[in-house]
A and B are shown apart, each in its own frame.
Chain A
Amino acid sequence: MSTLDTVSAAEGTPAPGRPRPKSTGGGGFGRYLLVRFLLIFPTIFILVTLVFFLMRTTGDPITAAQGGRLGPEALAELRAAAGFDRPLLVQYFEYLAQIATLDFGSTLTTNRPVVEVLATYGPATFELVFYSLIVAFAVGIPLGLLTAYYRDKPQDAVFRVLAIYWYAVPVFFAGLILKLIFSVWLGWFPVAGRATVSAELQMQVQPNKTGFYTIDALMTGNPEVLIDVLSHAVLPAIALGLLTAGIFLRLVRTNVIGTLATDYVDAARSRGVAEFRLLRKHAYRPALIPIVTVIGLQIALLLSGAVLTETTFEWKGLGFILAEFLESRDFVAVQGIVVLLAVIVAVTNFVVDIIAAFIDPRVRY
């Protein structure tokens, strides 16, 4: 994803020779909102189509899952029962109609509705991404400001190399090493999972449990359960968070260097504005728009990272379950999860674009 700044630079170029039409007052934002909202659907549609046809080139899900285990007759029977022997296009349109009603079918291995699987494991992934974003913001943005301010000085050098290093370390390797040092050798944090069994039991008996363990733990009112849940989240959040922090650092640094060189920063400095305030208010604020936009695009990277982090720490979220379904070749489930993640990415990008347009009127159509 580190090519992003290059790419966005090229994309941001307005078409030469064609003056940008002036926005017509208040109507501009509403229209932009609508157009941008409608653009979500082709994105999702394309991805669903792509995934559907790609998966079917391997054959139908039942042959893929059961091939070799069942005789050809039993296989044909199962395929006919599931409707996989009909023309591909018919199945495709049927699948589209199904998805439109939010019915993703049932998993082949466990015969649970995919929607239910998503509802069970989704909150775990959400929690992991949330915690790692906290780590990424807490580490990436201050360090980005620092490196921009001390540009080309030793501080800059150290943290930039560190940022590249964080990005170069695969998140699962970082996870394994963190686990080895802090769980196995030092014993500070649990090795894997989202909570210990006893804590999980206490949360299970809650009348209206949410699946978000932090919230559930708070509802039990037992501080030990909460500590247990939080201590499980520390290492995964650091592993995934540092990867993202490296990207945030680069991003903040590049953009703040740009704003630090502007005349109004010089002007503010000559008026005697304190250096810290200068950095926080005058340089950082205007740099926020490109930062927000690119951070929004990182959601795709975060989800990829979450799949790997969850597998490393046996964090029972969408990524973990996806890896399990992959192993058992349960392609209906895989397809459902992939489509859901596509929807999440498309919607996030929509929200980010809207925020960017809200901050900066120039972005609107």
Chain B
Amino acid sequence: MAVASVTPARRRLRDRLPVVHQLRQSVGLQRGMLVAGLVMLGVFVLVTILAPVLAPYGFAQRADGEGSFGTQQPPSAEHLFGTTVGGYDVLSRVIWGTQTALLVVIVAVLLSIFIGVALGLYSGYFGGWLDRLLVVVFDAIYAFPSLLLAIVLSIVISGGQSSLWGGVLAAAGSIVVVFIPQYFRVIRAETVRIKAEPFVESAKVLGASNSRIVFKHVFRNATRTLPLIITLNSAEAILTLAALGFLGFGIEPTAAAEWGYDLFKAQSDVTSGIWWTALYPGLAIVFAVLGIMLVGESLNDLADPRLRGRRRVAQASGQVAETSVVPGGTLTAGPGGLGGLEDEETFGDQGIEVRR
């Protein structure tokens, strides 16, 4: 093995951290998009943490010391974004809504990674009838309109409406089932590929146990596409939560603030020209999703040598191999080598653009 003789130097921490590494690698427009996305994400998280300080009122508050807020009041000094048909302060609900969104994203993504990765590793490494069954079942789920599945599940989990945790779990649970097949497919495909690599064989020859090979060798090499899928799934989680809310399967307004529910209630307002109840919750969704998508899109481009910014390609050619499964490997030395790179091509024979 070439790798054994030319052991590459361990990369510095800042090169190994997922997002930091890509930030340093990026250039021009891609860097702009990545930075913009990260800033938007930062604002989103900051608002989540500071919600109790930032929000002028509670999310379920309809009145203060001076009496009731009134319904459908246009934006004013007391209510910067106006009030809803239910008499809530729009600004406060927009701010508190960040907490619900973040909570759902975290629960949904963590759960689906955990289950999807575990099943994908098992399926890819051991194969057998369970593997075949899982592939067929997950392919069927994957092809199905995810929103419909989420609706069915939210009926199952919460009967359609709920408290904060009931609602969060219903939304997250329905999203999890939709996401597991994605993690499963990616991890399984990677595992099948890595299983055939010489370093796995040598580990076997040395007498390593299956669990050691799976966790030590396969798992750590199979997870490199995860940051990308996580970002895209987080965006989708927010959209699914909002869609469920919009169809009336969301979280009760007294349990938590949820943007989709607010839009659901704002539907009839729009027809009578009341714009503030729909505009602000909607913009909040767009802001959160857009931030995550920008990061995801940049990560996607940076992971694909064909799409990475051109000017750095020559310099980065040493780093091209990092998209192969060999951490720290180089273009010539890695067991994946150029062959490993070609596996990454969506369609075979173009080769990698290293000319410019």
Binding site for B on A (CB under 8 A): 2-3, 5-13, 15-17, 42-43, 46-47, 50-51, 54-55, 57-58, 64, 152, 156-157, 160-161, 164-165, 167-170, 172-173, 176-177, 179-180, 184-185, 191-192, 254-255, 257-259, 261-262, 289-290, 297, 300-301, 303-304, 307-308, 311-312, 322-323, 326-327, 329, 331, 334, 338, 341-342, 345-346, 349
Contacts and interface: CB of A to CB of B under 8 A. Distances in A.
Give the residue among B145, B248, B297 with the most A Cβ atoms within 10 A: B145
Number of chain B interface residues as a range: 35 or more
Chief secondary structure at chain A's binding surface: helix
Contact of B229 (A3, A42, A341): A3
Contacts of B273: 180, 184-185
A247 to B, nearest CB: 12
Contacts of B297: 160, 164
A297 B282 contact: no
Contacts of A152: 28-29, 309-310
A345 B145 contact: yes
Nearest to A165: B290
Nearest to A44: B140
Nearest to A185: B273
Interface of B: 28-29, 32-33, 136-137, 139-141, 143-148, 151-153, 155-156, 159-160, 182, 185-186, 189-190, 192-193, 196, 225, 228-229, 232-233, 235, 239, 242-243, 246-249, 260, 263, 266-267, 270-273, 275, 278-279, 282, 285-286, 289-290, 293-294, 296-297, 300, 306-307, 309-310, 343-347, 350, 353
Across the A-B interface, the 5 shortest Cβ-Cβ residue pairs: A173-B282, A304-B147, A10-B189, A168-B289, A168-B290
Give the residue among B148, B270, B293 with the most A Cβ atoms within 10 A: B148
A308 B293 contact: no
A150 to B, nearest CB: 12
A47 B297 CA distance: 31
A43 B181 CA distance: 14
A86 B193 CA distance: 48
Nearest to B139: A43
Contacts of B242: 170
Contact of A326 (B151, B185, B272): B151
16 contacts: A5-B300, A13-B343, A47-B140, A54-B153, A55-B152, A161-B33, A170-B260, A173-B263, A173-B285, A184-B271, A192-B271, A262-B350, A304-B148, A322-B148, A338-B148, A338-B152
A329 B152 contact: no
Contacts of B155: 55, 58, 326, 331, 334
A255 B192 CA distance: 26
Contacts of A177: 278-279, 282
A152 B260 CA distance: 36
Contact of B141 (A7, A17, A50, A259): A50
Contacts of B153: 54
B282 A254 contact: no
B243 A184 contact: no
Contact of B270 (A3, A47, A179, A257): A179
A7 B278 contact: no
A170 B267 CA distance: 14
B344 A9 contact: yes
B282 A170 contact: yes
A173 B353 contact: no
B270 A7 contact: no
A8 B346 contact: yes
Contacts of B270: 176, 179-180, 184
A58 B159 contact: yes
A326 B247 contact: yes
Given A177-B279, A180-B275, A257 B307 contact: yes
Contacts of A46: 136-137, 140-141
A164 B294 contact: yes
A173 B229 contact: no
Nearest to A327: B248
B196 A54 contact: no
Nearest to B197: A16
A10 B185 contact: yes
Contact of B145 (A289, A304, A329): A304
Nearest to B181: A7
A310 to B, nearest CB: 11
A168 B235 contact: yes
B182 A297 contact: no
Contacts of A342: 144
Contacts of A179: 270-271
Contacts of A12: 346-347
A17 B243 contact: no
Contacts of B189: 10-11, 13
A54 B285 contact: no
A168 B286 contact: yes
A47 B144 contact: yes
Contact of B144 (A10, A192, A300, A329): A300
Given A55-B155, A257-B306, A180 B140 contact: no
A185 B274 CA distance: 11
A258 B306 CA distance: 7
B346 A290 contact: yes
Contact of A341 (B136, B148, B196, B307): B148
A303 to B, nearest CB: 5
B124 to A, nearest CB: 11
B185 A170 contact: no
A322 B147 CA distance: 12
Given A58-B156, A173-B286, 4 more contacts: A8-B346, A42-B140, A152-B28, A184-B273
A28 B32 CA distance: 49
B267 A176 contact: yes
Nearest to A3: B232
A167 B192 contact: no
Contact of B346 (A5, A161, A168, A312): A5
A334 B293 CA distance: 32
A164 B290 contact: yes
Contacts of A304: 145-148, 243
Contact of A54 (B156, B160, B300, B350): B156
A173 B233 contact: no
B196 A17 contact: yes
